[in-house]
Chain A
Amino acid sequence: MSLLVITVGLFSLGLYGVLTRRDLVAILASIEVMLGSATLLLVGLAAVGTPMGSHEGAVEATGVMVIVLAAAEAAVGLALVISVARRFKTTRVDELTEVKG
C-alpha cells in the first residue's frame, strides 16, 4: 500500500512540475521524475508480488531498460532544449507559442 502511495505521490509531483514549471529544463526533469515513479512501481510490484504471480527476472530487465531509455531520452530532450534555446533565445514555454492557431 505504501508502495502505491509513494509512487503515485512521485508521479503526481512530476506531473505538477510538468504543468507548472515554465522552464523547459525543469519540465524535462519533472518528466524524469514521472518516469522514475512508473519504474519504481513496476519494480516494487515485482518485489511485493501480485495476484498474477511474480516475474522478477523479466521485470528487472524491463526496469533496467527503462532507465537506459530515460537516459537516452534525457540526452535527446536536452539536445532539443539547446536547439530551441539557440533558435528562440529562450527556454520558457509560455513564450514559445509559435504554433498558435
Chain B
Amino acid sequence: MSAFLDLGWSVVLLPLALAVVVAFSGRLLGRLAPAVAIIAPLWVLAYGVLSLVDGVHGSSRAGSVEWLTPGGPGSLTVGWAVDGLTAVMLVVVGLVATLVVLFSVGYMHGEGGLPRYFAALCLFTAAMSMLVVADGFVGLFIGWELVGACSYLLIGFWFTRPAAANAAVKAFLTTRVGDVGLFLALALLWREVGDLSYAAVFAAAPSLPAATVTAASLLLLVGAVGKSAQFPLQIWLPDAMEGPTPVSALIHAATMVAAGVFLIARAWPLFSLSAAALTVTLAIGGLTAVGAAAAALAQTDIKKVLAYSTISQLGFMFAALGVGAWGAAVFHLVTHAVFKALLFLGSGSVIHGSGTQELEEMGGLFRKMPVTGATWLVGAGALAGLPPLAGFFSKDEILHDVAGAEPLWAIILFGASLMTAFYVARTTRLAFFDSYRGDGHPHEGGWSMRLPLIVLATLAVGVGFAGSWLAETVGAHHGTLDLAVAAGSTLLALIGLFAGWKAAGTHHPVFARPPFARLAPLMRAGWGADALVERVIIGPVAGFSRVLYGFVDRKVVDGIAEGAVPLARGLGRAFATLQSGDAQWYATMLGAGAVALLALVSYLGRGL
C-alpha cells in the first residue's frame, strides 16, 4: 500500500493519459470508452481512500520536480504532497467523478461526440487532482487553469447550440477575471518570498509586512470568488447549466466551484493573518448566500434552481471562512458535494425521463420515477438542513460559528437557510408531486443512472456524522453540536419547507400575486446582474471596440495599407519622368553629379 501511496503523481498522470487515450481512440474503443474513462476517477478515489486509511497527518508523502528557473530569487518547483485536506478532496473528486461517469453512460446514451465528452471528464479529473495534490501555488495554479478549460469544454459540449457556446465563453471569461487576481497573488508572493511552495510561503507569512499579507490574501480571494461564483462574479454559473447535467453535477456543483473554498482553506496559514481579507470574505459570503437563495426562489428551470442554490451554499462556506471556521467550511464543502451532486444527478434523471427542464411541465414524477423521487427527497432534505441528513450538521456548524463571531451576519444566513428550505420545497412539489402537467411519458433511467443516485443518497444520510472525524483529519477545530442553533435552524427549515410547499400549490400561485408578481422576474434574472454587467462592462467595451473598428482599423490601419498603393504609384510616376530616354539628358545629369561629388570631396577634404 505504501508503494501505491508513493505514486502521488499518478492521480494526475493516469487520468491525463486516459484522457489522451479516450480522446484519440474513442472510435476504436466504441462503447468501451466510458469503461476506460472511469478508471481515472476510480484511481483517484482509491488513492484518496487509501491515504485516509494510511493516516496522513503531517504530509509525510511528497515529491517535487524543479520546473523553471526564471530570473528571480529562486526556482519554480511543481510537487505533490498529500495531507488530510488533500486526501479528503481526492475522495470527493474521485467519488463524484466516478458516479458522474457512470451516470453519463445512461444520460448521454446516443449523443454524438462521446469520446470528446469522456476525454474531457478524464482531463477534468486530472486537473482537479493536480489542483488538490499540488504542494505549492504553482501546481495549484496549473490545475486551477486546467479545470477552467475543462469547464469551458464541457459547458460548450453541445457547441452547435449558440446558448451553450455563449455560456462557455461567458464562464471562461468571468472566471478569468478571478484568475488574474490569483496570478497577481502568486506574483506578489514570488517577489516577497521567492518560493511558491506552501511550506515556504506559510513559513515566511508571519514575518511579511501586514500590507503585503492583506494584498496577497485579497488577491487570492479574488481568484476564489471567480472560481466559486461568488458575488460579484456569480453571473457565469447559472448560464453554465447549458452543459450536460452530469457535468453540472461534477464541475459546477461538487468540485470545481468548491476550489475557491479549497484555495482559502489551503492557504489558511497566510489568509488568516489578514483581518481585512476575512471581513471581506464574510461579507461576500453572506451577501452571496442570501442573494442567490432569493434568486433561486422564483426560478422555473430545475437546473437554474440548483445553480443558484449552489452559489448560495458556496456563500455559506465563504461566510464560514470569513469567521475563521475553515474546518466547518470544508465539512460543508464535502456534504454539499455529496447532496448537490445527488440533486443534480436527480435533476438529470428527471430531465432524461421527462424531456424538459421546465418545472411547469413536470409534476407528479414521484410515482413515475420512484428511485429518482426518493433519492431526490434525501438530497432535498439534506439541502434544507433537516436532521439527521448531511446538510444539517455542516450548515449548523457554520451557523453556530458565524453566530458566535458575527451575530448580524448569522441572522442573514438564517434568512438564507429559510429561503433555501422554501425553494427546496417549492421545486420538489413542482417536479415530483401533484399531477403530471407535461405531455411526455416520464420513465426511470437505466441502472447506470439509478446506482449513482442510490450511492449518493446513502452518503447524504451518513456523511453528516463524520464531522468530528473530518475535522480531525484536516486538522481543524470542530465545534460541538449547538442545540439552540440546531433547534432554531430546524424550525426555520420546517417553516420554509411548509411555506415553499404551499407556494408551489396550484391553488396558491404565490408568484402571480403582488408584490411577488413584479419581483419575480427580477429574482428569476438573478437580481439583474446580467443586465448590469451588460450595461456597465459589455456596453462600454463593445462601444470602444466599435470605435477601434470603425476609426482605428478602418481609417488608420486600412488607410495606411490602402494608402501605400497610391503612394508607390505616385512616386513611380514622378521618377518615371526622369527617365526621358534622352541620352544627353542622362549625360548632363552624370556630369552634374560628377561635378557635385568632386565639389563635395574637395570641400570635405579641405582640412586634410
Are A99 and B581 neighbours in the complex by a CB distance under 8 Å? yes
> For A94, what are the chain B residues with a Cβ–Cβ distance below 8 Å?
582, 584
Are A101 and B576 neighbours in the complex by a CB distance under 8 Å? yes
Asked if A52 is an interface residue, CB under 8 A from chain B, the answer is: no
Identify which of B576, B578, B579, B583 contacts A96 (C-beta below 8 A).
Answer: B583
Are B591 and A15 neighbours in the complex by a CB distance under 8 Å? yes
Are B576 and A93 neighbours in the complex by a CB distance under 8 Å? no
Query: Shortest Cβ distance from B568 into chain A, in angstroms?
Result: 15
Are A93 and B591 neighbours in the complex by a CB distance under 8 Å? no
Distance of A21 Cα from B576 Cα, bound (Å): 25
Asked if B480 is an interface residue, CB under 8 A from chain A, the answer is: no
Distance of A51 Cα from B56 Cα, bound (Å): 102
> For B577, what are the chain A residues with a Cβ–Cβ distance below 8 Å?
101
Query: Shortest Cβ distance from A32 into chain B, in angstroms?
Result: 15
Asked if B588 is an interface residue, CB under 8 A from chain A, the answer is: yes
Are B581 and A98 neighbours in the complex by a CB distance under 8 Å? yes
Asked if B69 is an interface residue, CB under 8 A from chain A, the answer is: no
Give chain A interface residues in 1-24, CB to chain B under 8 Å. 15, 18-20
Are A18 and B576 neighbours in the complex by a CB distance under 8 Å? no
Which residue on chain A has the smallest CB distance to residue B573?
Answer: A101
Are A97 and B584 neighbours in the complex by a CB distance under 8 Å? no
Which bucket holds chain A's interface residue count? Answer: 10 to 19
> For A27, what are the chain B residues with a Cβ–Cβ distance below 8 Å?
584
Identify which of B575, B576, B580, B588 contacts A19 (C-beta below 8 A).
Answer: B588
Are A18 and B587 neighbours in the complex by a CB distance under 8 Å? yes
Query: Shortest Cβ distance from A34 into chain B, in angstroms?
Result: 11
Query: Shortest Cβ distance from B584 into chain A, in angstroms?
Result: 6
Give chain A interface residues in 55-97, CB to chain B under 8 Å. 93-94, 96-97
Distance of A94 Cα from B587 Cα, bound (Å): 13
> For A101, what are the chain B residues with a Cβ–Cβ distance below 8 Å?
575-581
Query: Shortest Cβ distance from A83 into chain B, in angstroms?
Result: 15
Are A100 and B591 neighbours in the complex by a CB distance under 8 Å? no
Identify which of A19, A98, A100 contacts B587 (C-beta below 8 A).
Answer: A19
> For A97, what are the chain B residues with a Cβ–Cβ distance below 8 Å?
580-582
Which residue on chain B has the smallest CB distance to residue A24?
Answer: B583
Distance of A99 Cα from B577 Cα, bound (Å): 12
> For B588, what are the chain A residues with a Cβ–Cβ distance below 8 Å?
19
Are A100 and B580 neighbours in the complex by a CB distance under 8 Å? yes
Which residue on chain A has the smallest CB distance to residue B583?
Answer: A93
> For A15, what are the chain B residues with a Cβ–Cβ distance below 8 Å?
591
Are B584 and A100 neighbours in the complex by a CB distance under 8 Å? no
Query: Shortest Cβ distance from A12 into chain B, in angstroms?
Result: 10
Which residue on chain A has the smallest CB distance to residue B578?
Answer: A101
Distance of A27 Cα from B584 Cα, bound (Å): 9
> For B576, what are the chain A residues with a Cβ–Cβ distance below 8 Å?
101
Are B582 and A93 neighbours in the complex by a CB distance under 8 Å? yes
Are B583 and A19 neighbours in the complex by a CB distance under 8 Å? no
Instruction: Say whether, besides A15-B591, A19-B591, A93 and B580 are in contact (CB < 8 Å).
Output: no
Are B581 and A96 neighbours in the complex by a CB distance under 8 Å? yes
Are A100 and B583 neighbours in the complex by a CB distance under 8 Å? no
Are B578 and A93 neighbours in the complex by a CB distance under 8 Å? no
Distance of A19 Cα from B591 Cα, bound (Å): 9
Distance of A93 Cα from B578 Cα, bound (Å): 16
Are B579 and A18 neighbours in the complex by a CB distance under 8 Å? no
Are B584 and A93 neighbours in the complex by a CB distance under 8 Å? yes
Distance of A27 Cα from B580 Cα, bound (Å): 19
Which residue on chain B has the smallest CB distance to residue A20?
Answer: B584
Give chain B interface residues in 541-594, CB to chain A under 8 Å. 575-584, 587-588, 591
> For B575, what are the chain A residues with a Cβ–Cβ distance below 8 Å?
101
Distance of A97 Cα from B579 Cα, bound (Å): 10
Distance of A94 Cα from B582 Cα, bound (Å): 6
Query: Shortest Cβ distance from B232 into chain A, in angstroms?
Result: 68
> For A93, what are the chain B residues with a Cβ–Cβ distance below 8 Å?
582-584
Give chain B interface residues in 493-547, CB to chain A under 8 Å. none
> For B582, what are the chain A residues with a Cβ–Cβ distance below 8 Å?
93-94, 97
Distance of A94 Cα from B583 Cα, bound (Å): 8
> For A19, what are the chain B residues with a Cβ–Cβ distance below 8 Å?
584, 587-588, 591
Query: Shortest Cβ distance from A77 into chain B, in angstroms?
Result: 13
Distance of A19 Cα from B584 Cα, bound (Å): 5
Distance of A94 Cα from B581 Cα, bound (Å): 9
Distance of A99 Cα from B585 Cα, bound (Å): 13
Distance of A60 Cα from B348 Cα, bound (Å): 111
> For A100, what are the chain B residues with a Cβ–Cβ distance below 8 Å?
579-581
> For B583, what are the chain A residues with a Cβ–Cβ distance below 8 Å?
93, 96
Query: Shortest Cβ distance from B321 into chain A, in angstroms?
Result: 80
Which residue on chain B has the smallest CB distance to residue A22?
Answer: B584
Distance of A94 Cα from B94 Cα, bound (Å): 94
> For B581, what are the chain A residues with a Cβ–Cβ distance below 8 Å?
96-101
Distance of A21 Cα from B584 Cα, bound (Å): 9
Query: Shortest Cβ distance from B601 into chain A, in angstroms?
Result: 17
> For A20, what are the chain B residues with a Cβ–Cβ distance below 8 Å?
584
Which residue on chain B has the smallest CB distance to residue A94?
Answer: B582
Distance of A96 Cα from B586 Cα, bound (Å): 13
Query: Shortest Cβ distance from B513 into chain A, in angstroms?
Result: 89
Distance of A56 Cα from B413 Cα, bound (Å): 117
Query: Shortest Cβ distance from A9 into chain B, in angstroms?
Result: 16
Are A99 and B587 neighbours in the complex by a CB distance under 8 Å? no
Distance of A20 Cα from B575 Cα, bound (Å): 24
A-B contact pairs, 21 of them (CB 8 A): A19-B584, A19-B587, A19-B591, A20-B584, A27-B584, A93-B583, A93-B584, A94-B582, A96-B581, A97-B580, A97-B581, A97-B582, A99-B579, A99-B581, A100-B579, A100-B580, A100-B581, A101-B575, A101-B576, A101-B579, A101-B580
Given A15-B591, A18-B587, A101-B580, 16 more contacts at CB 8 Å? A19-B584, A19-B587, A19-B591, A20-B584, A27-B584, A93-B582, A94-B582, A94-B584, A96-B581, A96-B583, A97-B580, A97-B582, A99-B579, A101-B576, A101-B577, A101-B578
A contact residues vs B (CB 8 Å cutoff): 15, 18-20, 27, 93-94, 96-101
